[in-house]
């Protein structure tokens, strides 16, 4: 989620802003104009300046912000905020507009590669200086009740400054905002690849990150970013090297298509396909090594486990087990298709030679067509 390097400086805590106009209800454009200049664009969209001690206060403020957006319109509020930022010496209107243009380019790149799997939606994007960006990151981690991996304690305000030397950006999926660093020295391609990475997080299937853990989540997100940027002839900003290596090894087992389907449409296909070709319970073991034990070496040992000399025969047997069940269900057909999707072209040729003569065993003509398509007949 967060693109970063390693150690750093102190963060400043933004002051809490309050407005009688907001606390007493909205009173039209005058109230909005009086209140909105006190907030940054990110704070407006989130409905909070910093995480308040009382969660009820946060929900109330967020609801009233959304009401103002609905009654006055996003463009009015956005214009007020950009003008305020430019006048106050914060993120300039030029920087915000540039980030939006880069986001539009990133969206186009992602749609070209993954649009046939899932529409890639654009979200709010905010450009912040280093201290404000880390403060927002603290807000998110505290709200989610995460633990600081360095201290083993609940995340506290100021922790981001101790974890990251440089934080380039992150996606807050709950608030639907992408935050990026106001880095005047960053190249155009580096910025586009950064925003593409964060946009992928925002468009991932609900529950994917929680189901697979942070290493596979970040590795898959970066792998998809690299693929999309390569297709657009853009050099992706290097990040998450060990996680990318991990996911590439997983992809070699389950197939690139399985990874992409899992990322955008739900993680269950990843675990079921992994188990289908590695053995029952093997994905759970991989997940345990990564999340509970934080042992990358053990995780890689699962992925490096030698293939059986009868690797293709095992896949053929799995398919035949599904075909020979007393009733071939839709779930059986789904499993057969995922097994075929994990095969290399050479393996698929062997599978096709063994299974194609058995297609007529299926009484359902629709299932026959599905099987022929999966086999490439």
| 233 & 250 share domain | no
What pLDDT, in 10s, does the model give residues 292-341?
888 999 998 888 766 666 778 878 888 998 898 888 999 889 888 878 87
| 98 & 229 share domain | yes
The helix/strand count (H/E) of the chain reads as 20, 4
* β 177-181/167-172 pair status: antiparallel
| 204 & 257 share domain | no
Structure tokens at 173: 């999926």
What is the tally of structural domains in the chain? 3
In a domain, 47, yes or no: no
| 227 & 173 share domain | yes
What pLDDT, in 10s, does the model give residues 236-295?
888 899 999 999 999 988 888 889 989 999 998 899 888 877 888 999 999 999 998 889
In a domain, 25, yes or no: no
| 99 & 234 share domain | yes
The domain boundary residue, chosen from 224, 239, 254: 239
Query: Sign of torsion, CA 273 266 348 372?
Result: positive
Question: Among candidates 338, 336, 217, 211, which has minimal Cα distance to 283?
Answer: 211
CATH number of the domain at 119, please. Answer: 1.10.10
The domain boundary residue, chosen from 214, 239, 264: 239
| 119 & 210 share domain | yes
Per the prediction, the chain carries an average pLDDT of: 80
Question: Among candidates 195, 9, 232, which has minimal Cα distance to 113?
Answer: 232
Question: Buried (b) or exposed (e) across 139-177, using 16+ Cβ within 10 A?
Answer: bbbbbeeeeeeeeeeebebebbbbbbebbbbbbbbebeb
* DSSP 8-state class, residue 179: E
The domain boundary residue, chosen from 239, 256, 276: 239
Cβ–Cβ < 8 Å for 290, 297: no
| 175 & 217 share domain | yes
In a domain, 73, yes or no: no
Q: What are phi and psi of 180, to 5 degrees?
A: -130, 155
In a domain, 216, yes or no: yes
What pLDDT, in 10s, does the model give residues 89-110?
345 788 889 999 999 999 999 9
In a domain, 34, yes or no: no
| 173 & 293 share domain | no
In a domain, 150, yes or no: no
The boundaries of the domain holding residue 267 are 246-304
Distance CA(346)–CA(149), nearest Å, equals 44
Question: Among candidates 139, 146, 138, which has minimal Cα distance to 58?
Answer: 139
| 257 & 216 share domain | no
| 178 & 259 share domain | no
Lowest mean pLDDT among 119-128, 198-207, 224-233, 337-346: 337-346
H/E stretch holding 172: strand 167-172
| 263 & 347 share domain | no
In a domain, 33, yes or no: no
* β 177-181/124-128 pair status: parallel
């Amino acid at each position: 989620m967060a693109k970063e390097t390693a150690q750093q400086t102190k963060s400043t805590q933004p002051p809490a802003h309050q407005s009688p106009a907001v606390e007493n209800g909205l009173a039209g454009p005058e109230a909005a104009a009086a209140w909105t200049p006190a907030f940054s664009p990110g704070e407006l969209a989130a409905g909070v300046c910093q995480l308040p001690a009382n969660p009820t206060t946060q929900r109330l403020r967020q609801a009233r912000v959304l009401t103002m957006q609905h009654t006055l319109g996003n463009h009015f509020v956005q214009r007020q905020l950009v003008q305020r930022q430019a006048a106050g010496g914060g993120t300039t209107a030029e920087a915000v507009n540039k980030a939006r243009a880069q986001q539009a380019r990133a969206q186009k790149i992602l749609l070209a590669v993954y649009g046939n799997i899932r529409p890639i939606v654009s979200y709010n994007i905010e450009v912040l200086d280093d201290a404000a960006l880390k403060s927002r990151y603290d807000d998110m981690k505290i709200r989610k009740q995460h633990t600081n991996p360095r201290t083993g304690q609940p995340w506290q305000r100021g922790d981001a400054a101790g974890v990251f030397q440089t934080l380039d950006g992150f996606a807050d999926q709950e608030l639907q905002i992408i935050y990026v660093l106001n880095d005047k020295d960053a190249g155009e391609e580096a910025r586009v690849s950064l925003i593409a990475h964060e946009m992928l997080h925002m468009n991932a299937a609900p529950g994917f990150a929680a189901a697979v853990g942070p290493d596979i989540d970040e590795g898959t997100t970066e792998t998809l970013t690299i693929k999309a940027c390569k297709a657009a002839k853009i050099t992706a900003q290097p990040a998450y090297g060990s996680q990318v290596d991990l996911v590439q090894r997983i992809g070699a087992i389950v197939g690139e298509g399985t990874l992409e389907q899992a990322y955008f449409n739900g993680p269950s296909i990843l675990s079921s396909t992994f188990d289908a070709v590695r053995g029952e319970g093997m994905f759970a073991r991989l997940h345990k090594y990564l999340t509970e034990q934080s042992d990358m070496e053990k995780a890689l040992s699962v992925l490096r486990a030698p293939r059986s000399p009868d690797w293709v025969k095992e896949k053929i047997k799995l398919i035949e087990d599904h075909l020979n069940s007393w009733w071939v269900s839709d779930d059986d057909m789904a499993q057969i298709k995922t097994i075929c999707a994990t095969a290399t072209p050479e393996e698929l040729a062997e599978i096709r030679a063994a299974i194609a003569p058995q297609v007529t065993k299926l009484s359902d003509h629709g299932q026959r067509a599905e099987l022929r398509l999966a086999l490439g007949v």
